[in-house]
Structure 1
């Protein structure tokens, strides 16, 4: 995999009770993922602010600032946490499965066996295309083990898809 333009390492929480990452090469998200998330959240922040201003100035609804203020605080916190959150994402290709990790406070580590994969899907929205990134989704028979890896460079997502399909075909299971 080409890890050019990605974060340098998966950051772990410092608690002794954290989920261990294990050995192996962890691949990171592209740095452009942070910009896409910041722009998307910023647009949401501006829409909430604009709607609150219209409600207040045009219709005299002063109380609109209560829910708008709550949303604005949540969106501002989201903007502040996004860069750190992006560095907590990572995936690792092992002999028998793909391991995906995300989360700072609420950590999730999922191992998806190659033989259980039913579909590998690459999606990207307009901002993703503009920044050259994509989201790779792995679908399995169990609904809870499906994995979506956001913010992978487009070329790396296509290479990972092809690798996963090749591994599944050699084992004559899954895809």
Structure 2
């Protein structure tokens, strides 16, 4: 299952300009299908959208793009099952991974942690958003039956088909 750019943007809470920039600079590239020249559509997987939403949250809290790139590289190296139990903590400069309650407490007591992102909670948010948005089966290129009312491209296709 893959999700086009507008759907990924809606689920992650980012603009298409951010999505395009992050893909072109290699921050978060689509793993289902990348763009190959003009007119081709990128397709993002669930994990990609999860990382997009985490990147957005880190940016909103003032973490530098350089440190976000380090955090994203770390997230890519983790298994999908590892992500659900992870909490990302930051002091606004660095990003730390915590996988247990004790690690979170140690970080906060050390005066380093200012905010945290429970990846499992973000995971559930993305799942909820994507359940209402249009995805695309990668084998057929056909959209799933669900249609998001705000998806301009899907609306135009429906209008043309009628």
What TM-score does the superposition give when structure 1 sets the normalisation length?
0.24
Greater strand content: 1
What TM-score does the superposition give when structure 2 sets the normalisation length?
0.25
